[in-house]
Amino acid sequence: MAGKSVETLTADLAEPSTIRCGTDAEGLLAEVLADVVRVEHVPVDSHFFDDLGADSLVMAHFCARVRKRADLPSVSMKDVYHHPTIASLAAALAPPSDTPVEPAQAPVEVGPPASTRQYVLCGTLQVLLLLGYTYLVALGFDQAIEWVAASGNLLDDYLRMVLVGGAIFFAACTLPIAAKWALIGRWKRRRIRVWSLTYLRFWLVKTLVTLNPLVLFAGSPLYVLYLRALGARVGRGVVVLSRHAPVCTDLLTIGDGTVIRKDTYLTGYRARAGWIQTGAITVGRDAFVGEKAVLDIETSIGDGAQLGHVSSLHTGQGIPQGERWHGSPAQPTEANYQAAAPVDCGIGRRAVYTVVQLASALLLYLPLMLGATDLLFEEVPGLAPLFDSGSTAFTSWSFVGVALVTSLVLFFGSALLGLLVVVTLPRLLNLVIEPDKVHRLYGFRYSAHRAIVGLTNRRFFVELFGDSSYIVHYLRCLGYRLSPVVQTGSNFGSQVKHENPYLSSVGSGTVIASGLSIANADYSSTSFRVSRASIGPNNFLGNDIVYPARGRTGDNCLLATKVLVPIDGEIREGVGLLGSPSFEIPRTVDRDARLNHLAAGDESRRQLAAKNRHNLRTMGYWLLARWGYTFGLTLAGFLAASLRPSFGASAIALSEVLLLLFTLVYVAMVERASTGFRGMRPKYCSIYHIDFWRSERFFKMQTGPGLQAAFIGTPLQSWFWRMVGVRLGRRLFDDGCGMSEKNMVTIGDDVTLNAGSFIQCHSQEDYVFKSDRTTVGSGCTIGVGALVHYGVTMGDGAVLAPDSFLMKGEEVPPHARWGGNPAREMPDATADSQVHRDSDDSVGAALAGDK
């Protein structure tokens, strides 16, 4: 139903007869809302969206104003959507007369933040450790090169490469395990002050454990063996598909036959207000943990229980045996997320699969990579004479010219070859997989399925073609069923992934923002099954959505950011869905509908053509930037090769350090150059306006190489954020947060950002783009996997719980505890008695080791 505009409503409200008297709460709420929407009076039975023409941003401002009034109860956005009139809202918020009012909880005392001296000392030691690790790696490569170069024939070359590759792989896999046991021993419940020397040991072990090559074997029994080697109590037949490796593994227990889907966080620790808190996570037998779930410390899942997709357990929560829960924080549900029936899959099958995986890596992939590198340095024309010139080679123009040509051939040649492979080989592998049929794990079909997942989810091509008309053609080549296509120029964002592209369907006229994951495969501990996932026509999907094969949405739906797509009940059509668990909201609002006419008629075709031309130039700039980085890599490699005869391992170490620094500077310069070094600014426009096209260019250009992952948890990450424009205070602790429009983010002192969190200063809804600034006050904490939207203000000392969605325009009061999807004020569920208070504040205590 079309809503009235605010101007029309003002005229309607001019007659006193339209206003009826209500309770004191009704009058006060109506007074606040009238001030927000800028009208003289608001009838208590007027619908916020249909009659007032308000949108979620307007109502977020209303909620913030209500929370500032001592004479009114707190109101959340969920309350607004469930009770969309003043009368119903006042009635819902009024407590029964016999219900005592609970006093507000005092904020948890966490102690003073670390000093700047500790921050600088820890950062300096982290840099020294990075340099030491770099030299250790360089020394190993130098010895390997010398030994391989001494071979006499092709067979000897291959055998030596197998041995060298195996030695490198073994060292890279075992070093993190050895470091964990030597530096930590067994993880215990405790608190560690960030930037203390005890934290230094924690950071070193965490970095090594999460960057271990064995993490790439998620979904394999080899990955389970890795977790056991780190001290985790993992039962038989467990399947872990998530590459977010647990860190405090001795506090992790997973029972027999349990399945943990991809992108799930169960790290065993959290960062909060300048402290690392470790705690236990227990998952029982035959349990199920859905995709993109978050398990906070001190949580449990009983035998045979389920936690749905895009769901979380907050500290202190536990799912009883056999129950199904979903949502953030999770609550009971009747939905069954475990759809694949178990089959026979013995230990022998798992053992054979593991041996084949290792043999493939050691006998094929690693020798192939080493051989290709050796061939490059031997066969590139004109390169050998330059290397013979010694340390003066890299100063010549010939050296730069050879590197330039080599990088061009490598980058564009590998891109074309990769494109050919991803559109052909997975189609052949898909012939052995039958839809809707249960297949056993760890066989040829499972290997084919995992290969399809890996090959067709190459980020390079999705980032290249995403946010443009050309992503449609690419996804069709992959196997998506998209016909008939209504081209909008923004049908898909730059982050789309799936389990099986040949069973993925998207209806006509649907627009999808970045972060979609089509979960069209189901797993048990012994089997898997692929099924068709169909997204209806004329839908809009926001960011970070997991869409399962059994999703119950049909035509003309809006799926909001981080929404939990329902898999039971009636098919939802013509509505919006928000939250986890989801509830219905208006499909659209008056404000956004005003720009819809730009998406139809002759004008839209002209604007689409102009957008396509702009996007083509953006794709060209993106390829140029990526090739520029490849050129830098090539120069670093050639520099190491030319200096190694004179300086040995030191030359390789020098090139590695220069490459890390080059990565930081290059990524920052490319991102800033994409806006003409002017940064982003708040916008409200159609997707057919050039301001939106420039925003798309900025988002595309900011995706860069991931080498800076080594800087997570160090002061170097803060320097990087400042380089790209974040207004940043002192002593930021960043454990892996992401940001979109960096120059529109303001962060105070001693802020804590957890892994997987994201600060996003924009939103796209159908054909409308909106962005605004976000402020995070001093001492704030943003939990694991949480998302902060645009126009948000978090007061000093506020805490946002894990996996929460803080909606646009929200104002979190100082020292408040918010959580949920959508986020609202909630009691602090963290009992400090659950976490040992081994603070290890001082340098002396840190040097003494863990208690």
d(CA 806, CA 819): 8
Per-residue confidence band for 402, with pLDDT thresholds at 50, 70 and 90: confident
pLDDT higher than threshold 80 for residue 588: no
Enter the pTM of the model: 0.89
pLDDT higher than threshold 50 for residue 340: yes
Per-residue confidence band for 834, with pLDDT thresholds at 50, 70 and 90: very low
Lowest mean pLDDT among 384-388, 441-445, 555-559: 384-388
| pLDDT given for residue 104 in this prediction | 40
One-letter amino acid for residue 42 of the chain:
V
As given in the structure block, the two tokens for residue 421 are: 């492979």
Compute the chain's Rg from CA coordinates: 28
Rounded to the nearest integer, the mean pLDDT of the chain is 86
| pLDDT given for residue 324 in this prediction | 96
| pLDDT given for residue 780 in this prediction | 96
For residues 516 and 497, is the Cβ–Cβ distance under 8 A?
yes
Per-residue confidence band for 235, with pLDDT thresholds at 50, 70 and 90: very high
pLDDT higher than threshold 90 for residue 6: no
Q: What pairs with residue 684 in β-bridges?
A: 770
Average pLDDT, integer, range 507-519: 93
Per-residue confidence band for 381, with pLDDT thresholds at 50, 70 and 90: low
Average pLDDT, integer, range 520-532: 96
Lowest mean pLDDT among 203-217, 446-460, 654-668: 654-668
Residue written as token pair 């006509």: 508
d(CA 496, CA 547): 11
Q: What pairs with residue 793 in β-bridges?
A: 775, 811
| pLDDT given for residue 840 in this prediction | 41
Measured from the Cβ of residue 50, the count of other Cβ atoms closer than 10 Å reads: 17
The DSSP-derived string for 153-197 is SHHHHHHHHHHHHHHHHHHHHHHHHHHHHHHTSS--SEEEETTSH
pLDDT higher than threshold 70 for residue 850: no
Per-residue confidence band for 35, with pLDDT thresholds at 50, 70 and 90: confident
Model pLDDT for residues 195-215, shown as the tens digit of each residue: 999 999 999 999 999 999 999
Per-residue confidence band for 13, with pLDDT thresholds at 50, 70 and 90: very low
d(CA 28, CA 34): 10
Better-predicted residue by pLDDT, 198 or 660: 198
Share of the chain above pLDDT 90, in %: 64
DSSP state, residue 693: H
For residues 471 and 566, is the Cβ–Cβ distance under 8 A?
no
pLDDT higher than threshold 60 for residue 177: yes
pLDDT higher than threshold 60 for residue 14: no
CA 63-66-71 angle, 5° bins: 155
| pLDDT given for residue 832 in this prediction | 39
Share of the chain above pLDDT 70, in %: 87
**Residues making up the chain, counted from first to last:** 851
Per-residue confidence band for 288, with pLDDT thresholds at 50, 70 and 90: very high
One-letter amino acid for residue 456 of the chain:
T
Lowest mean pLDDT among 279-283, 370-374, 488-492, 569-573: 370-374
Alpha carbon 50 to its chain centroid, in Å, reads 35
d(CA 186, CA 235): 19
| pLDDT given for residue 826 in this prediction | 85
Lowest mean pLDDT among 597-606, 621-630, 668-677, 782-791: 597-606
For residues 776 and 804, is the Cβ–Cβ distance under 8 A?
no
Q: To which H or E segment does residue 454 belong?
A: helix 444-456
Q: Select from 287, 276, 336 the least CA-distant residue to 313.
A: 287
As given in the structure block, the two tokens for residue 59 are: 């109502």
For residues 57 and 808, is the Cβ–Cβ distance under 8 A?
yes
Cis amide linkage into residue 16, ω under 30° from 0: no
One-letter amino acid for residue 464 of the chain:
L
Per-residue confidence band for 838, with pLDDT thresholds at 50, 70 and 90: very low
Model pLDDT for residues 684-737, shown as the tens digit of each residue: 998 999 999 999 999 999 865 466 678 899 999 999 999 999 999 999 999 999
| pLDDT given for residue 126 in this prediction | 95
| pLDDT given for residue 703 in this prediction | 66
Measured from the Cβ of residue 796, the count of other Cβ atoms closer than 10 Å reads: 16
Q: To which H or E segment does residue 57 belong?
A: helix 56-67
